[in-house]
Structure 1
Amino acid sequence: MPGPLGSEGGAASVLALAIIGAVVALAAASIAVLGGLVASQVAANAADAAALAAADALSGVVPADPCGIARTAAERNGARLVRCELAGPAASVAVAVAAPFAEVTAESRAGPPGWEG
């Protein structure tokens, strides 16, 4: 005989679906955040590589155009060179990497120790 409010059959199924939905939503949000963190690290690594490559070209260690070799280094590390500035023997670069919801940028500078230019 059903209680005063009727049968409670199927209540656990509704609760299980709600819990599964919450877990799926949390997993999707976590994947997006982790994707952004990975893109940030990729951008930082690519910026460092590009700045070091440009500084090597400026110093004469590598016979190449500093900004051209910085672009190549950034692209080989999964980024796009946004800016390349040369000041004496130092190079400053900025790169961008596509992330799940936005574009992540990073900057780096390389040159001889103590150079303030």
Structure 2
Amino acid sequence: ETFIATNFHQVNYALTRMLGDSGGSNWNLQLPIVWKVQTFIAFAYTYHYLNWFSKTSVIQWHKVDKRKMTITLTLWISCCLMFYFNYRIGLAAIYVLSMLHIILEFPLNISSIKSLFQGNGKAVKTQ
């Protein structure tokens, strides 16, 4: 019900239409292609967040000062509470933070890509 009310199902609908597997007027959330698309979306989100583990040396979370960590945790808890009390407001807040996240992540991505090509100067021994 909330999934439909927030129109998030439109993402699934648009993707299934792009893939050419949407039945048009008989499109519904129970179609196998819809489940596959939703599984892909979940995988993409999960992969994105797990990929941050590969960037921990660049981010250096262990060196973040207490003030910044407090701000981060406060934002996170606030978003969770917004979802709990009003899903639509929570979704809007997370959308804004997501867009901010994407924009602010560009320098980190550039740094990560550079580090892939520069290496760390140590040879890897293989047997």
The TM tier, using the shorter chain, reads: under 0.3
Higher helix proportion, which one?
2
Higher relative CO (Cα under 8 Å, sequence separation at least 6) belongs to 1
Higher strand proportion, which one?
1
Q: Structure 1 length as normaliser, TM-score?
A: 0.27
